[in-house]
């Protein structure tokens, strides 16, 4: 197997590297057989993935069945389903106060409400933005970059920026005062603070979903729209009968990602609301897990792990249902 020699510098460098690895690769190939070679190339990635993803999952599942406050498995007594029982013990699930772990259930209900509003709002905003950007508007590249830009920021920075903006002496109040509206302490009001957690989340993530939807929109052949124009389809019918159905697979991807990531809401909300305030109005599941494990010296790793496992199972179920629905839609 002799490859033609390159003359440019990059090509020569590549030839050099290939020359070095060729012999061992050929050796491995003889040893393992050609069919198994792909696994050799996948191995480095699999090792990293194993150490930093699969292993922690396994550890978390294991910890969920242990108790105490010790960090190492050897210091932790096996308690069976105790942690799960503690989390799920409730007189009335609709009243978190009646539950043994009332904070857990408050967090669940807060998270559910957040997920509902956030998924709908982000999806709508991203879809409308993508539809607008998909038209031949001026400076499309600029707008695309602008909407995507927040995605690149750190959640903590996002939380801080918006906190300044919404503070008692923040920009928004200064602006309202100019209009003669009395100032409002947004982040200390239950309704307003929840509203703005959704606003910030939409603002933060919409660019990412807009990009996915825009890619889907641009993959729809132009001549379908021309055929629809000849077929006398109104803009409304074109949207609902052509664009949205053909965007279906992308919408499904967005819906799944959005749902999973909404359930995982934590960092930016934590910073924005000073740890879930006012009171527990904005404490979400991941925050609960974080607080049980690492917050205020509780070190309840078992309880936190059990909550993580429950959340993981729910997310898995949601994803499977959506994939099943998606497949049904396609056929």
Partner 1 sequence: MGNLKLTSVTKSFGALTVLHDIDLTIDNGKFVVFVGPSGCGKSTLLRIIAGLEDISGGGIEIGGRDVVHLSPAERKIAMVFQSYALYPHMSVRKNLAFGLENLKFKRSEIDARIAEAARMLALEPYLDRKPRQLSGGQRQRVAIGRSIVRNPDIFLFDEPLSNLDAALRVQTRAEITRLHRQLKTTMIYVTHDQVEAMTMADEIVVLNGGRIEQVGTPLELFDKPRNLFVAGFLGSPRMNILKGKVVAVGETGVTVDVGYGVPLQARIDPAAVAAGQAVLLGIRPAHFAVGGEGLPFVVQYHESLGTETYVYGTFEGSEEQVIVHQAGHFAPERGALLRIMPQPGRMHVFDPDSGLALPRAIEERSAAHEHA
Q: Which residues bind partner 1 (CB under 8 A)?
A: 221, 223-224, 226-234, 237, 241-242, 245-246, 248
Shortest separation between residue 230's beta carbon and partner 1, angstroms: 5
Nearer to partner 1 (CB atom), residue 79 or residue 233: 233
3-state SS assignment for residue 267:
helix
d(CA 259, CA 317): 12
Nearer to partner 1 (CB atom), residue 58 or residue 229: 229
Shortest separation between residue 223's beta carbon and partner 1, angstroms: 4
Shortest separation between residue 239's beta carbon and partner 1, angstroms: 13
Q: What's the count of helices (H) and strands (E) in the chain, helices before strands?
A: 15, 0
Nearer to partner 1 (CB atom), residue 80 or residue 248: 248
d(CA 264, CA 286): 6
Q: Are 280 and 103 a contacting pair, CB within 8 Å?
A: yes
Neighbours of 297 (CB within 10 A): 6
Shortest separation between residue 321's beta carbon and partner 1, angstroms: 22
Shortest separation between residue 218's beta carbon and partner 1, angstroms: 16
d(CA 116, CA 119): 6
Shortest separation between residue 220's beta carbon and partner 1, angstroms: 10
Shortest separation between residue 245's beta carbon and partner 1, angstroms: 5
d(CA 108, CA 101): 11
Shortest separation between residue 249's beta carbon and partner 1, angstroms: 11
Nearer to partner 1 (CB atom), residue 10 or residue 221: 221
Backbone angles phi, psi at 90, to 5 degrees: -155, 140
d(CA 215, CA 208): 11
Nearer to partner 1 (CB atom), residue 138 or residue 178: 138
**Residue 169 has which token pair?**
């002496």
Nearer to partner 1 (CB atom), residue 144 or residue 241: 241
CA distances from 50 to 17, 207, 301, 315, 326 (A): 28, 31, 21, 21, 30
Nearer to partner 1 (CB atom), residue 113 or residue 240: 240
CA distances from 6 to 22, 25, 26, 35 (A): 16, 21, 22, 29
Query: String of b and e for 127-156 (b: at least 16 CB within 10 Å)?
Result: bebbbebbeeeeeeeeebeebeebeeeebe
CA distances from 226 to 217, 231, 262 (A): 15, 8, 38
Nearer to partner 1 (CB atom), residue 12 or residue 237: 237
């Amino acid at each position: 197997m002799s490859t033609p020699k390159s003359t440019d510098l990059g090509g020569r460098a590549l030839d050099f590297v290939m020359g070095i690895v060729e012999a061992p690769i050929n050796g491995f190939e003889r040893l393992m057989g050609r069919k198994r070679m792909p696994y050799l190339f996948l191995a480095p990635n699999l090792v990293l993935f194993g150490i930093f993803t699969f292993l922690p999952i396994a550890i978390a599942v294991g910890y969920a069945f242990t108790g105490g406050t010790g960090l190492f498995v050897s210091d932790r007594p096996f308690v069976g389903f105790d942690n799960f029982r503690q989390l799920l013990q409730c007189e009335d699930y609709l009243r978190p106060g009646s539950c043994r772990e009332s904070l857990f259930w408050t967090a669940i209900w807060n998270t559910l409400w957040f997920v509902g509003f956030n998924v709908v709002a982000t999806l709508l905003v991203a879809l409308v933005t993508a539809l607008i950007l998909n038209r031949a508007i001026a400076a499309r590249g600029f707008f695309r970059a602008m909407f995507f830009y927040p995605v690149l920021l750190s959640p903590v920075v996002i939380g801080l920026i918006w906190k300044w903006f919404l503070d008692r002496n923040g920009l928004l109040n200064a602006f309202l005062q100019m209009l003669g509206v009395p100032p409002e302490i947004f982040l200390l009001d239950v309704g307003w603070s929840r509203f703005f957690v959704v606003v910030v989340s939409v603002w933060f993530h919409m660019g990412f979903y807009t990009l996915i939807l825009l890619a889907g929109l641009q993959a729809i052949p132009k001549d379908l729209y021309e055929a629809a124009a000849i077929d006398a389809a109104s803009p409304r019918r074109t949207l609902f009968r052509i664009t949205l159905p053909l965007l279906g697979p992308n919408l499904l991807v967005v819906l799944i990602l959005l749902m999973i990531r909404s359930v995982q809401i934590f960092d930016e909300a934590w910073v924005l609301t000073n740890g879930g305030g006012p009171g527990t109005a904005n404490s979400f599941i991941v925050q609960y897990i974080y607080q049980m494990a690492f917050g205020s010296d509780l070190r309840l790793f078992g309880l936190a792990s059990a909550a993580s496992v429950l959340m993981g199972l729910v997310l898995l179920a949601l994803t499977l249902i959506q994939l099943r629905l998606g497949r049904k839609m396609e056929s």
